[in-house]
Amino acid sequence: MGLLVNGEWVDQWYDTKKHGGEFVRESAQLRDWIGEAAETGAETDGRSYPAQADRYHLYVSLACPWAHRILIMRKLKGLESLIGASHVSPLMLDKGWTYDQSEGASGDPINHVDYHHQLYTMTDPAYTGRVTVPVLWDKQRSAIINNESADLMRIFNRAFDELTGNDLDFYPEDLRSIIDDVNDDVYDHINNGVYKSGFATEQQVYEKHVQALFDALDRMEKRLSEHRYLAGEWLTEADIRLFTTLIRFDAVYYGHFKCNFKRIEDYPNLAHYVRELYQWPGIAETVNMDHIKRHYYYSHDTINPTRIVPAGPLLGLERPHDRERLPGQGIRRRAS
Ligand X SMILES: N[C@@H](CCC(=O)N[C@@H](CS)C(=O)NCC(=O)O)C(=O)O
Ordered DSSP codes for 99-151: --GGGT----TTT--SBTHHHHHHH-TT--EE--S-EEEETTTTEEEE--HHH
Q: Pick the stretch among 30-38, 58-66, 156-164, 240-248 that binds ligand X (CB under 6 A).
A: 58-66
161 binds ligand X (CB under 6 A): no
Q: Pick the stretch among 33-41, 147-155, 169-177, 312-320 that binds ligand X (CB under 6 A).
A: 147-155
**One residue of 130, 154, 189, 263 binding ligand X per CB under 6 A:** 130
133 binds ligand X (CB under 6 A): yes
**One residue of 22, 32, 138, 148 binding ligand X per CB under 6 A:** 148
Closest contact distance (angstroms) between CB of 187 and ligand X is: 9
149 binds ligand X (CB under 6 A): yes
32 binds ligand X (CB under 6 A): no
Closest contact distance (angstroms) between CB of 68 and ligand X is: 9
Alpha helix segments (H runs only) across 174-202: 176-185, 193-198
Measure Cα distances from 251 to 104, 264, 316, 335 in Å: 20, 10, 12, 39
Q: Pick the stretch among 50-58, 124-132, 136-144, 161-169 that binds ligand X (CB under 6 A).
A: 124-132
Q: Pick the stretch among 34-42, 131-139, 256-264, 298-306 that binds ligand X (CB under 6 A).
A: 131-139
64 binds ligand X (CB under 6 A): yes
In sequence order, which residues have a C-beta less than 8 Å from that of residue 246 and are 6 or more positions away? 264, 270, 273, 274
Closest contact distance (angstroms) between CB of 330 and ligand X is: 26
Q: Pick the stretch among 125-133, 223-231, 243-251, 303-311 that binds ligand X (CB under 6 A).
A: 125-133
Residues 234-273 that bind ligand X (CB under 6 A): none
- Annotated catalytic residue within 14, 49, 59, 64: 64
Closest contact distance (angstroms) between CB of 219 and ligand X is: 22
Residue with Cβ nearer ligand X (58 or 131): 131
The residue type found at 137 is W
204 sits in which H/E element: helix 203-226
Closest Cα partner for 1 from 334, 322, 312, 296?
Answer: 296
Residue with Cβ nearer ligand X (148 or 169): 148
The residue type found at 190 is I
Beta strands in 152-238 (DSSP E): 168-169
Query: Any catalytic annotation for residue 259?
Result: no
CA dihedral (12, 248, 151, 195) positive or negative: negative
Length of the chain: 336
The residue type found at 155 is I
Measure Cα distances from 158 to 41, 101, 253, 272, 300 in Å: 10, 33, 32, 29, 36
Query: Any catalytic annotation for residue 195?
Result: yes
Ordered DSSP codes for 265-313: GGSHHHHHHHHHHHTSTTTGGG--HHHHHHHHHHH-TTT-TT-PPP---
**One residue of 66, 206, 254, 296 binding ligand X per CB under 6 A:** 66
Active site (catalytic) residues? 64, 195
| Chain residues in the site for ligand X (CB under 6 A) | 1, 28, 61, 64, 66, 130-134, 147-149
